[in-house]
Amino acid sequence: MNLTIIVGFFAGALTTVSYIPQAIKVWKSKSTKDLSLITFLLLILGLSLWLTYGILLKDLPLIIANAVAISLIFVILLHKLKYK
């Protein structure tokens, strides 16, 4: 495994894991009043574009990191819409 792939997986893991505390907090508290819907919609759009870019490049670190991040953000968005 070359250094580029290692750095890609590490960067993707760190940025993706950063959404876990927020997703857990929202899940447990059922409160999203302080979260901006626009921010999370833009974030999921941007992540979807990064995922598409990764797929086009066949870049596994981009694909995995963005697919997982989209899943976590989607959980937060669902709670935001459900618990207005």
Q: Which domain holds residue 75?
A: 3-82
* pLDDT for the residue numbered 70: 95
Summarize the chain as % helix, strand, coil (round to 5): 80, 0, 20
Per-residue pLDDT tens over the stretch 16-71? 899 899 889 988 998 888 889 999 999 999 999 999 999 999 999 899 999 999 99
This prediction has a pTM of: 0.82
CA distance 68 to 73: 9
From the CA atom positions of the chain, what is the Rg in Å?
Answer: 14
pLDDT greater at residue 67 or residue 81: 67
User: How many structural domains are present in the chain?
Assistant: 1
CA distance 80 to 74: 10
Q: How confident is the model at residue 4 (pLDDT cuts 50, 70, 90)?
A: confident
Residue 55's domain is classified under what CATH number?
Answer: 1.20.1280.290
